[in-house]
Structure formats: C-alpha cells, structure tokens
Chain A
Amino acid sequence: MTDRLATTLDVNGRSYSVTVEPRKSLADALREDCGLTGTHLGCEHGVCGACTVIVDGKPVRSCLMFAVQAEGLAVRTVEGLAEGDELHPLQRHFWEQHGLQCGFCTPGFLMLVAGAFEADPTIDDAAMMEVLSSNLCRCTGYQNIAKAVSLALKDMRAGR
C-alpha cells in the first residue's frame, strides 16, 4: 500500500518510535504499534466513543485521527490514568458505584471525563452529563456511570 512513515508518539509520557502507514488511525497505532490495547474500538466511525483518548488536554476519538497527526502532541490513554498502584478518582468511583459491566466502553468513558475536566476544570455536573452523551454504553443504562462521574468530579475538584 502507501509508503510507511516513521513518526514518534508521546503516550503517557513515554516516547514510542513507530513506522506506520499515513492512513493508520491513532487508535490502531496505539493498539498495534505501542501495545496499548486498553483503548478499544467499538465502531471505527466516530459514534460510540470507546476509543476516546486525551490529546493535548482534550478528549479525542482516536479512530478519527491519524497516528501521524499525533506527532508532537501529548497523548494519554487509560493505561496512564492511575498513578502506579493508586487508581484515579474516576476509576475508583466507577469501581465502587458499579459503573461498568463488560468494561469495553469503560476506558473511553474514563478518558472522556478526565479529558473534559482537564480542558475545563470548572465544568459543572450538568455540563458533564451533556459531555457523557457523546459515548455509548450497552450494559449499564448509564445509571451508575452518572453516579460515579458525579462523585469523582467532587474529588477531582478538591484535588484528591
């Protein structure tokens, strides 16, 4: 197919030198070339949001971005959310509130909320619920995702 391009991806603070086709999505590069399979693909056409990662402080659907476009940008994936053994407040509250069942959409939701909060730390609960409507979950009926996000936002605002 097309010639491959050498590029460097900065993911979770680590640098990955990869050689990819220009058409390769960021999601595929993260999964196949960086070995970071926590980012999931639910539709590959930008609707479900399972592949959401944070790029330069904003949530992005990684199936709709080419890997080569991410060169020079800071990418964060679910693998970089916890600090060592300590879960991020979002992960903790998703766990405690049963905000996940099959877990396939979960990384996308976590990165969506973490990214939206980073982009606007003053975001209120109502605005965050609007943000949550960008991703799909098939198991939870969103009930416990909403609860978990609301509790996590309290902690995140308090800097916990």
Chain B
Amino acid sequence: MSWTGRALPRLEDPTLLRGRGRYVADLAPGAAHVRFVRSPVARGRILGIEAPEGVRVYTAADLADVGQIRPVLERPDYVAVSQPVLAVDRVCFAGQAVAFVVADDAAAAEDLAERVFLDIEPEDPVVDLDAALRPGAIQTHPEAPGNVLVEGRMRTPGLDAAFAEAAAVIALDLRSRRQSAMPMETRGGVARYDTRDGRTTLHASVQMPHMLRTGLADLLGCPEAELRVIAPDVGGGFGQKMSLFPEYAALVWLARHVKRDVAWIEDRRENFLASAHSRDQAFTVRGAFDATGHLLGLEANLRSNVGAFSCYPVTCGVEPLMAFAELPGPYKVPEYGARSRGVTTNTCTMAPYRGVARPMLTLTMERLMESAARRLGLDPVEIRRRNLIDRFPHRSPTGLVHDEGSYIAAMEAAVAAVDVPAFRLRQAEARAKGRHLGLGLSVFSERTGYGTPAYAARGMAIVPGYEQVECSLDPSGHVELRIGASPHGQGLGTALAQLVADELGVEPGQVQVVSGDTDRTPYGWGTFASRSMVIAGGASRLASAKVAAKLRGVAARMMGATEAEIALEDGFARVRGTNRATPIREVARAAHHRSHLFADLEGGLRQSAFYDPFGTFSNACHVAQVEVDVETGGVRVERFLVVEDAGRLINPMIVDGQIHGGVAQGIANALYEEVVYDPDGNLLTASLADYLPPTIHEIPPIEILHMETISDATLTGAKGVGEGGTIGAPAAVVNAIVDALSPFGIEINEIPATPERIRAAIRSARDSRT
C-alpha cells in the first residue's frame, strides 16, 4: 500500500508536543544579549548618539566595513536603495536600528539601551501611500523622485476598443490596509564564533538559511565557508522570515568581532515595529463588460506601499509586480492595461506575506464580477461561469500559462454544497426579523511551485526557484534526505518521507529529513511561495528514484533476477510474481559492505537531484456566510466552505491544516488585523492588545472539499497549497458582507472591514438616500 495520499500523523510532532522543540530562543541562555536602540521617529537627521558612561554603544561607525543591503531588480523602472545595517546620518522609519548594546542577559541589555540617547532632529515624514505619490510630496530617498521604486506597465492594443464597445463599465477603488504576518515566534538569532576554526554559526528563525548565508557573506566580505546558518525549529514565518534583516548582519559581525556567543531575541514590539509589513495596497480598476456579462477588458492602476527599504532578495517588486502580472487571476481577460507602482514611505519595509498581492487582487476581481452581475442583472455565479478560464493551457494577457485546473467545476461544487436557494430563504426570513445574513463567493487561482523562469521574468538579480535534494541509504536500510528547502511548521518532513518511502519500499519513520542547516544540506532557496511540496518534493522523488534503481540492481543480482522484476515494498525487495524476497536492510548492507560484487552496477546509494519546474496553478472556490449587526457594524463569520484543487494530495491532513490556517489569516485580513501609523509615522499597533489576530472565537468551522486535477506541470502531481486560504478568504467575506447589507445598497471598499468602516458605510448610504 502506498504511503502517499495517507493522512499520516506527523513525524515532527512528538518532540514538539513534549516541549522538546528547539527554537532559537532556547539556544540563547549563556550567550551575551544584544539590544538594538531604535529610532523613535519616522524620519530625521542623526545629530549624535550619546552613550551612558562606561557603556560600549555600537553604531554605524563600528560597522564601517560592513556593506549595505541593496537588493536589485534588473529592469529600467527599478530604483535600487541601500539599507545600512545601522542607520547612517538619517533614519527612515520609526523602529529603524540605530545602535546596539551588549550585556550578559536580555534584561540588562534592555536597561542599557534605555540609557542611550539618540539625538535625532525630526523631519516631516511621508507615511500614506497616495500622499507619497502627490506632486511635491516629501521624498523618502533622494535617489527616488516621486517615491516610486519600481513600476510595471503594459497595455494591449485593443484595450481602448474594448471600453468603447462595452455595455457596462464597472469602476472600483479598493484599499487594503497594512497587515503583519505575525508569526507566534518573533525573529531572533544566536551567533557563535568558533575559536578553533574561525567560523561563525548563526542559529536564526528564518525560512531561507542558504540565502541568508549568501547575503551575510556579501555584507561582511567573507567567504561563505566561514559562516554556517542553521534554522532550528521555527515558530511560523508566513513570509516574514524570508528576508535578510540588518539585525542578523549586526549579530554575526559582533560574534566575529568579540569572538563570543551573542544572541538577539526580538520582543513583540520590535517585531511589529521593525520586522516587515505587507498588504498596504490601493487598486483602482475599470472593467469593460459586454451586455451578456463577458469581460472585454481590464484597466488597472495599482499602488503598493513598500515602506522605507527594499527587502532582500525578492525586492520591493514582490507585491507590485505580482499584482501587475496576476490581476486577471482565474478569468479570461482579452484586453489588459495596467500600471503598478511600488511606493516608498517612512514606514517599516514591506516583505512577502502569505498570498503576497493575491488577497487584494482576488478581492478586486471578485468585487468586479459581483458589481457587473448586479449592473447587468445577471446571477453572480453565471457571470463567473461565463468568464472563468475553461480551456487549458490558457495564456494570460501577461504571458502566464495556466495548466489544467478546475476553475468552473470547483465553483459549481461549492455552490451546490452550500445550497444557495435554501440560504436565500433563510436570509429573507432573517431580514424580516431585522437580522442581516449574507453569502459571498470567491473564485481564484493560486500560482504555485514556480521555479527560476518566473523569478527571472521579474528581473531579479538573484533568481531563486530550483531545489536540490540529496538522498542516501545507510547500511541499516535507513534513509537520509537532505533538502535545501527549509520547512518551519508545515510538516514537509513528513510529506517528503511519505514520497520517499514509496520509492524505496521503506516506512516513513525510516526516513530522516535534514533541513535548515547550510553545512548539512545542498544549496536551496527555502520554504515560501507554496513551493516546497512541488519543488523539493519533485527533487526528492528524483533523488530517491536513483537510489531505488541501484537498490533494485543489487537486489536483482542477489536473487538472480532482472532489475525490472524487482519491486521495493514493505521493507523488502521482492521478485515480482514469485515469493522470493530480501529485506531492504540486507540489500543495503550488501551494497555497502559487499560492494566489490556490484562494482559494475551503475549509480550508488547516495544520489542528488535538481528540480526547477516552470510552475503550476492551484485553484479554489471559497464561500463565506456572515451575519452583520447593523447597529454595531460587527461581523460574525458563521460558516466557511472551501473547495480546493491542489492536484494530488500527498498528505491530506497536512493540506487541510494549511487551508485552515490560511483561511483564518484571510478572515483576519478581511475583518480584524490592521497595522496603523499616525500621520507622523508613529506605530499605534505595537502590541497584541492593539493588533487583533483572531482567537478561536472568531474563526468558524471550516469545511473543505477536494478536487484533484492531476496536471503534468509537476513531477508528483501535487500543486502548492500554502497560500490559498489567505488568498481567497477576504473576497468571500467581503462579498458576504455586501450581500448581507444589500438592503442598504452599500459597497465595502476597504479591508479590514472593521465595525467603524461598516457603520460609516451604512450611515453614508442612509445619508445619501435622505
């Protein structure tokens, strides 16, 4: 029986459940602690840094030999900006690291930092996205006039004609407020200098250890071999931990400088102030529809607030350029024109967060479909049916190729499962009693598992995308799988063990997956962008298949059969159609210890493989049912349904877990979470009491149905699934709110749709009627 496809409980869990996980803060006791002194203002000139008497304060002057973080996109419309590890002369956002102090423990370091006086002359900052684009706006960086760091533009020749012949033009102006990925574990690092060999090991809570090592070596001007980066157990990342942050460079520099163990464990306030934000986006679009509801053309003006600097390695292009390339989503858009800008402001730097631009672009397309349906008197499901991609492969106006998916079928399945007519009856009954229920739909595609071509197309100077895996079988018949990907809670180790167990005929528990350590794993890009199951999974299958081939060759000779007759299953090499079998551990031992007998057989029991796929698209339909309290503006999500098509399910339990968590974050994006700055650039939401991640109370039971379109775009048939939940949920929730409030005829143009915003919308609808 195959291990693939089974809801196998995770191999990672017993350790974590017993409290024996090792997160980076668990490695900090005994090390000296670093505390950063951060800018209290959003923008200003550093006049001086006053150290308390007898206290060593490290500033930019100490780090003069350390380079600046300067991510590059090779495109003419990109302006590279440099981020110093510690601020030089100027500060660009509240929370930027200006100096640091070191003490024996974290509390003592914090005491010292309190006594450091930063003499900064404040200047007026630019904080708001659209304010930063106004003529004459304050410039965040002198080298970026107009505050635009990156811009994408295109226009198909027939766009004007599409609008000219449209029966209806729908205009939307949508705003997504800033969000934080907010992993439960903050960032942190422990750097250890080894006096024996002069190497420094950085244990850090990160998603891409190899990339971090490259970035650090470049900044410090040392060979990568002098550094080792280890991601131990990581308490969630969701994209926030995939960039090179200045704090890590400072920590490694310090360890090399003072030649001792040093630690920095971020507190929650620092995490909100200075890690990374996302989703601060404004999309203005117009859709041209014919009388039967077919979308003829789409024109978009997309703005993303990318904050003070550009994140390394993916750059500040990540949100604006993804929005630009993927706005059409699952829909046929014959003519397309878009301008997408990444706008720099005196706020915390934007970096990828689960879903990146797609929650907002899905909200945009789904509001567009709903509005067009209402204008044209069409059923909202029917208008989607007419516009969803239905022939594969499909080439989008921006050149993306959609492989086989189930866009329409997934929607039909979702609509059938929620029983819309029955809901409409309940909705009418509730309305008669003054209660407002609503149902909302969201259909989307999720581009996943893309290799180097996708990143190269963006113009990235550093092109991520492939993965490498090394698979070996030891003499006892146990497997070691060393992967360049860097899972941090997803359960990838278990899923890969299932794949490899099937190739080699062993049990998943006999497969040890090694990840996150640059000394022990092949160079790879890490875990992000719904890629690991697809890419590391594909490479794992390739590498283990090579080991299996050798194993079959040895077994065939041992049993006097041909290689083709050997099956590896249930711990045995069997000769098919006979009762001859040899335990795999005996075959492994023979291959290692009697190798002279098999010297003429090709291959070995240690194999590596490289996989760099073009990419694929998962797809899904989400349905939210909400109740809105029109007096308070409060929204409760009563029911949530997901029909997901992520191709072949390697471990359905893990897939469902990814969807659950993603949907919860998407509901949070729709209703609760907002990073708020005041007009002076002070962060108003720097604690978990002010930023509002949902508790169990806010998240309804999430129902999941699966479809499995097996596309040949990936080796394992699996498509990525990590981000879908976050991508689809906001649109479904917002559409449900608009449906619930349809008696008022209101629009929801801004997320999170907080009680204040909903009340304001209801009030203005009432005012405009009187």
* Residues in chain A within 8 A of chain B (CB atoms): 1, 21, 23-24, 28, 31-32, 35-45, 47-48, 50, 77-79, 81-82, 87, 91, 94-96, 98, 100-107, 110, 129-130, 132-146
Contact = CB atoms under 8 A, between A and B. Distances in A.
A102 B696 contact: no
Contact of A103 (B233, B657, B699): B233
A48 B697 contact: no
Contacts of B10: 95, 98
A102 B488 contact: yes
A105 B688 CA distance: 14
14 contacts: A1-B111, A37-B26, A38-B18, A38-B19, A40-B25, A43-B688, A45-B688, A77-B19, A78-B19, A94-B13, A100-B16, A103-B12, A140-B657, A141-B702
B653 A98 contact: yes
A98 B17 contact: no
Nearest to B704: A143
B16 A103 contact: yes
A138 B236 contact: yes
A105 B491 CA distance: 16
B489 A139 contact: yes
Contact of A104 (B18, B23, B688, B702): B23
A40 B13 contact: no
Contacts of B9: 95-96, 98
Across chains A and B, which 8 residue pairs bring their CB atoms closest together, nearest first?
A38-B19, A102-B489, A104-B235, A103-B16, A141-B664, A78-B19, A141-B660, A47-B688
Contact of A110 (B17, B238, B657, B725): B17
B66 interface: no
Given A79-B18, A102-B234, A141 B25 contact: no
B182 A143 contact: no
B745 interface: no
**Overall SS of chain B's interface:** loop
B14 A87 contact: yes
B693 interface: yes
Given A106-B17, A138-B236, A98 B654 contact: yes
Interface in B227-258: 233-236, 238
A31 B689 CA distance: 24
A40 B268 contact: no
A39 B21 CA distance: 10
B41 to A, nearest CB: 23
A138 B183 contact: yes
A40 B185 contact: yes
A146 B695 CA distance: 12
A107 B312 CA distance: 33
A1 B106 CA distance: 13
Nearest to A139: B661
Contacts of B657: 98, 101, 139-140, 144
A5 B105 CA distance: 17
B688 A103 contact: no
B107 A136 contact: no
A18 B457 CA distance: 58
Nearest to A131: B696
Contacts, number: 176
B214 interface: no
B660 A144 contact: yes
Nearest to A80: B19
Contacts of B18: 38, 78-79, 81-82, 87, 91
Given A31-B26, A40-B185, A136-B184, A45 B268 contact: yes
A40 B17 contact: no
Contact of B664 (A36, A45, A142): A142
A102 B20 contact: no
A100 B656 CA distance: 12
Given A136-B693, A142-B664, A144-B657, A48 B17 contact: no
B278 to A, nearest CB: 15
A143 B489 CA distance: 16
Most A CB within 10 A of own CB, among B16, B107, B234: B16
B140 interface: no
B238 A138 contact: yes
A107 B701 contact: no
Interface in B21-54: 21-23, 25-26, 29
Most A CB within 10 A of own CB, among B111, B654, B688: B688
A145 B490 contact: no
Contact of B236 (A24, A91, A139): A139
Contacts of A105: 184, 235
Given A91-B17, A144-B657, A138 B665 contact: yes
A20 B238 CA distance: 36
Given A42-B184, A138-B236, A1 B665 contact: no
Given A21-B107, A43-B688, A104-B235, A95 B17 contact: yes
Nearest to B667: A141
Contacts of B696: 129, 132-133, 142, 145-146
A50 B695 CA distance: 13
A89 to B, nearest CB: 12
B184 A143 contact: no
Given A1-B107, A37-B19, A104-B184, 11 more contacts: A37-B23, A38-B20, A42-B184, A47-B687, A78-B18, A87-B14, A98-B491, A102-B488, A138-B238, A141-B699, A142-B699
Nearest to A147: B701
B89 interface: no
